[in-house]
Amino acid sequence: MRKHGRSGWTLGVVIGGVTLALTGAAMVGVSSASEESETASVGQITCPDVASRLPAIPASAQAEVDRNLTLLQTQISEAQNRLESTVGQGGPNFVQNAILGPLASKRGAAIDRIAIAIGRTAPRPNLPIAELSTCTVEDGGAAPATTAPTTEAPTAPQTSAPAADDADNGDDAAAQSISCPDVESELPAVPAQAQAEVERNLALLETQISEAENRLVTSAGEGGPNFVQNAILGPLAGKRAATIDRIQISIGRHAARPELDVAALSVCSLA
């Protein structure tokens, strides 16, 4: 009888151990599935392929084109990291304003540099920069978020009432203007052959400021405390950098290329 009782106790331990092991495996499986679900919900940034749209690249432009193609991939990686590290931040337009919008500006500048590099020693390719700059967020469990090129018309203000603090920030921003460093005063003597192109780009710099100020007014009350920097001043800096770079390149075709402080000249602030 004692032996029988001992056998029953041993069997009970074995069964209990198996039960615990199975329960532990089930818990691990649930945790793993939860983590995978959370990762999948972030989404993946996808952008049009630029390399496949290029014509034959002159040997003299190959290095510069390769650098900018690599930069395009780096920009996507940085934007993806930003997407993953800011999950849950901002309002419904956060991804558009803080990630996809700035990404489109950076891509546009890089693609323009590629076209310019090729155009120095061959016909300049007529790339659809607006199309190639636009990226989307896919497979994030929601409708894909897209960004149109940075020249699109300003987005209408949200109809939902903003939080009190955000509304105050928006009103303050709307009452201010945008101040940017003067580029023309930093230029050397402009060769006659480059004068027209330089003047076009100087005019474009002014247009960019006007568009940004209009965006500042029409978006009053949108977003959080970083909205103006992420959605207006950041993209403006990207566009200004590309334009200033074109001015340098234009002058450099006919004279010594000026070494402007592009980073400093691109950054604007509220005044």
The pTM (predicted TM-score) of the whole model is 0.46
Alpha helices in the chain, H assignment, sequence order = 2-42, 62-85, 94, 101-119, 129-133, 164-174, 192-218, 227-228, 234-252, 262-266
Contact 184/202 with Cβ under 8 angstroms? Answer: yes
Q: How does the average pLDDT of the chain come out, rounded?
A: 75
State how far the Cα of 247 lies from the Cα of 86, in Å rounded to an integer.
36
Can you say how many angstroms the Cα of residue 198 is from the centroid of all Cα atoms in its chain?
27
Would you state the pLDDT for residue 35? 44
Would you state the pLDDT for residue 41? 63
State how far the Cα of 80 lies from the Cα of 75, in Å rounded to an integer.
9
Which secondary-structure segment (H or E) carries 60? none
Q: What is the pLDDT along the chain (271 residues), one digit of tens a residue?
A: 444 444 444 444 444 444 444 444 333 344 444 444 444 467 899 999 999 999 999 999 999 999 999 999 999 999 999 888 888 777 777 888 788 888 888 898 889 899 989 999 999 888 888 888 889 998 754 434 444 433 333 333 333 333 334 434 444 444 578 999 999 999 999 999 999 999 999 999 999 999 989 888 888 877 777 788 888 888 888 889 889 989 999 999 999 998 888 888 988 998 8
269 phi and psi, to 5 degrees?
Answer: -145, 170
Would you state the pLDDT for residue 220? 80
State how far the Cα of 110 lies from the Cα of 68, in Å rounded to an integer.
6
Would you state the pLDDT for residue 175? 57
Task: Spell out the residues 6+ positions from residue 127 whose beta carbon is closer than 8 angstroms to its own.
Answer: 50, 53, 54, 111, 114, 115
Specify which residues 269 forms β-bridges with: 179
Would you state the pLDDT for residue 256? 92
pLDDT in tens, 158-191: 333 333 344 344 444 445 789 999 999 999 999 9
State how far the Cα of 251 lies from the Cα of 193, in Å rounded to an integer.
8
Task: Spell out the residues 6+ positions from residue 242 whose beta carbon is closer than 8 angstroms to its own.
Answer: 105, 108, 109, 112, 113
Would you state the pLDDT for residue 47? 94
Q: Are strands 269-270 and 44-46 parallel, antiparallel or unpaired?
A: unpaired
**SS3 state at 108:** helix
The structural domains of the chain, with segments of one domain joined by +, span: 44-149, 163-271
